[in-house]
Amino acid sequence: MSDLTKFTIAEARAKLAAKEFSATELTESYLSAIDAANPTFNAYVAVTHDKARAMAKASDARFAKGEAGALEGIPLGIKDLFATEGVHTQAASHVLDAFKPRYESTVTANLWRDGAVMLGKLNMDEFAMGSSNETSYYGPVKNPWRARGSNRDLVPGGSSGGSASAVAGWLAAGATATDTGGSIRQPAAFTATVGIKPTYGRVSRWGVVAFASSLDQAGPIARDVRDAAIMLRSMASVDDKDTTSVDLPVPDYEASLGKSLKGLKIGIPREYRVDGMPAEIEALWQKGIAWMKDAGAEIVDISLPHTKYALPAYYIVAPAEASSNLARYDGVRYGLRVPGKDIVEMYENSRAAGFGREVKRRIMIGTYVLSAGYYDAYYVKAQKVRTLIKKDFEDAFAAGVDAILTPATPSAAFGLADQDMAADPVKMYLNDIFTVTVNMAGLPGIAVPAGLDASGLPLGLQLIGRPFDEEMLFRTGAVIEKAAGRFEPSKWW
């Protein structure tokens, strides 16, 4: 039999329905691929062989009865941030040692309702804090992509590095991911996969380990635009358990694919032309503009004047929210406990041993900016800047722009253990310069592979839409995909 892991979700869906292979055969193909390649990639932190087999068997039974769901028999990887009942859920942190929730997140419950199969839990930056997957307690993840003629290992991006690596390396048909400042879109761009961060409120956050509650949003990483549309339709829902979940019906996103762009206005924000941006990224952006024009869209120059302040404001808001959310890890209710002479020392020792460096850094920044005397100068100021960032987008959309086209990242994937980034945390933070504005404004954004750089590494473009207009992103993203083609790594593992 041919390698079943090469099929997209849409292809596998058709072949499963046509009985060309069973859900069990498809799942076994993925489990074999994971067993062979995961020691190389470290994309999974837990592989749920038995559960996957049981779920695939149940899918086969539903196929036999003609009761197949929208994702019936499709093997998926789940980011370690999603609570999965009785299964490893640690946000790739030591502080949540041995934590196995007694409940299921809404997103994963939706996927299982639709018949999907869980392969295991995916590696990530600890508590989703990072842009290279190197802050994980479980060690770094490797990118299936390498520069042409090189055997240097590259990062898959982060924080959803395990998700991106597994999908690009054929170790999952699709994966769940989350995005607080770019954690879906940057790894997607680094691995030639498609990643969409939906509008804040579109996907329930219930059962997702919280990082920064006003910015976090879950979404899929998939092999192509159609697969991302299929996955988002299942992941999104209206959920009473999340008070920020919005009461809007979930559309059939696949129906947006293939629609013409005639009459649409695509905005090109001049502030995204940043100093020191590689010529290749600029050239890719120009190509994207030409593709949009060829598809019938009108291109308009727009201004988003507060763009450069999004990242500094983010590094106040996100750590502030994180410092409150992570206060719960105290060695009492779950996870790691390190004894001390009294309860306060027990808290301090547990947190010192349980959190990694980057997480501690952000808790410290958050605690500082929220502390007495600094709250107005930092936190309130950042929230005001956030209002201005959102208004920039609202003005552009009010002027008739349907979607905004930008580069996804300022560079292609970089090497593991990059010395410059290790020495200067701010340098790592700059990875999110094009993506973070979208979280600050609560908007939807998609990263679509658009080409390869001179060394053969993938580069992506980003499209930003109006609130709850994910359909526009699938529609315009499909045009980029059609023009650019799809990109796969050559197998070295």
Write down the catalytic residue from 79, 121, 142, 197: 79
**Active site includes 482?**
no
Region of 137-145, 169-177, 256-264, 418-426 interacting with other proteins (CB under 8 A): 418-426
Question: What Å distances lie between residue 351 and 95, 343, 415, 444, CA to CA?
Answer: 7, 12, 30, 34
User: Residue 18 corresponds to which tokens in the numbers above?
Assistant: 């046509």
Write down the catalytic residue from 59, 105, 183, 323: 183
Is position 398 an interface residue for other proteins (rule: CB under 8 A)? Answer: no
Tell me the per-residue interface mask from 132 to 151 with other proteins, x by CB under 8 A, - otherwise. --------------------
Is the distance from CB of 73 to CB of 27 less than 8 angstroms?
A: yes
Pairwise CA distance, residues 424 & 184, whole Å: 23
Is position 207 an interface residue for other proteins (rule: CB under 8 A)? Answer: no
Main-chain dihedrals φ then ψ at residue 317, nearest 5 degrees: -65, -50
Q: What is the 3-state secondary structure (H, E, C) of 208-239?
A: ECCCCCCCCEEEEEECCHHHHHHHHHHHCCCC
**Active site includes 132?**
no
User: Residue 193 corresponds to which tokens in the numbers above?
Assistant: 């996969």
- In three-state secondary structure terms, 466 is coil
State which of residues 222, 225, 336, 450 lies at the interface with other proteins (CB under 8 A). 336
Pairwise CA distance, residues 149 & 143, whole Å: 15
For the CB of residue 171, give the shortest distance to other proteins in the complex, in Å.
Answer: 28
For the CB of residue 96, give the shortest distance to other proteins in the complex, in Å.
Answer: 9
State which of residues 15, 49, 57, 337 lies at the interface with other proteins (CB under 8 A). 337
Question: What Å distances lie between residue 52 and 47, 220, 281, CA to CA?
Answer: 9, 19, 40
Is the distance from CB of 222 to CB of 167 less than 8 angstroms?
A: yes
**Active site includes 79?**
yes
Is position 368 an interface residue for other proteins (rule: CB under 8 A)? Answer: yes
Closer residue to other proteins in complex, CB, 4/430: 430
- Of 127, 206, 199, 205, the C-alpha closest to 160 is 127
Closer residue to other proteins in complex, CB, 336/412: 336
Question: Which residue reads 């240097």 in tokens?
Answer: 152
For the CB of residue 45, give the shortest distance to other proteins in the complex, in Å.
Answer: 17
Q: How many chain residues touch other proteins (CB under 8 A)?
A: 77
State which of residues 339, 398, 419, 420 lies at the interface with other proteins (CB under 8 A). 339
Write down the catalytic residue from 105, 132, 136, 159: 159
What part of residues 82-101 is at the interface with other proteins (CB under 8 A)? 98-101
Tell me the per-residue interface mask from 244 to 273 with other proteins, x by CB under 8 A, - otherwise. xxxx--------------------------
Region of 263-271, 383-391, 450-458, 471-479 interacting with other proteins (CB under 8 A): 383-391
For the CB of residue 53, give the shortest distance to other proteins in the complex, in Å.
Answer: 25
Pairwise CA distance, residues 252 & 230, whole Å: 8
What part of residues 461-480 is at the interface with other proteins (CB under 8 A)? 467
Is position 442 an interface residue for other proteins (rule: CB under 8 A)? Answer: yes
Element holding 59 (H helix, E strand): helix 49-65
Residues forming the active site: 79, 159, 183
